[in-house]
């Protein structure tokens, strides 16, 4: 086996592992959002923002550009919300709820994968 084949196989294995863990990671991120909505728990909001940021970058790396774009919209809304030092939860929720629903309800596949669909 050539060194480049081994490297390709390793990259494919990491990408496959990301794809397999993606539903659980999405479930975790959504649960953080739900926790904040329910309890107005600021630590949950900070953790939510950090996890949205990490998942956005990893999703983009492995070809999930549409997921990354949804996560980016959420991240931008959170940054704007926190920078205004506003307690207007309704405004925050209205801004990102659509993307949360999309993230939660879509079966995500890399955009270059055959059979990519929104359902």
Alpha helices by DSSP H, the chain: 3-39, 42-61, 65-83, 89-105
Q: What is the pLDDT of residues 33-42, one digit of tens each?
A: 998 888 887 8
Q: What is the pLDDT of residues 66-83, one digit of tens each?
A: 999 999 999 998 888 777
Q: Please say whether the dihedral angle defined by the alpha carbons of residues 76, 79, 85 and 86, taken in this order, is positive or negative.
A: positive
- Rounded-to-10 torsion of CA 92, 96, 101, 102: 180
């Amino acid at each position: 086996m050539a060194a480049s084949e081994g490297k390709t196989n390793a990259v494919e294995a990491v990408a496959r592992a990301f794809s397999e863990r993606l539903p659980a990671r999405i479930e975790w991120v959504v649960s953080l959002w739900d926790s904040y909505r329910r309890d107005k728990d600021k630590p949950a909001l900070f953790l939510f923002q950090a996890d949205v940021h990490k998942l956005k970058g990893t999703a983009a790396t492995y070809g999930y550009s549409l997921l990354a774009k949804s996560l980016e919209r959420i991240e931008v809304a959170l940054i704007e919300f926190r920078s205004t030092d506003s307690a207007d939860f309704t405004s925050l929720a209205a801004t990102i709820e659509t993307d949360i629903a999309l993230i939660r309800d879509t079966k995500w596949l890399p955009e270059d994968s055959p059979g990519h669909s929104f359902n």
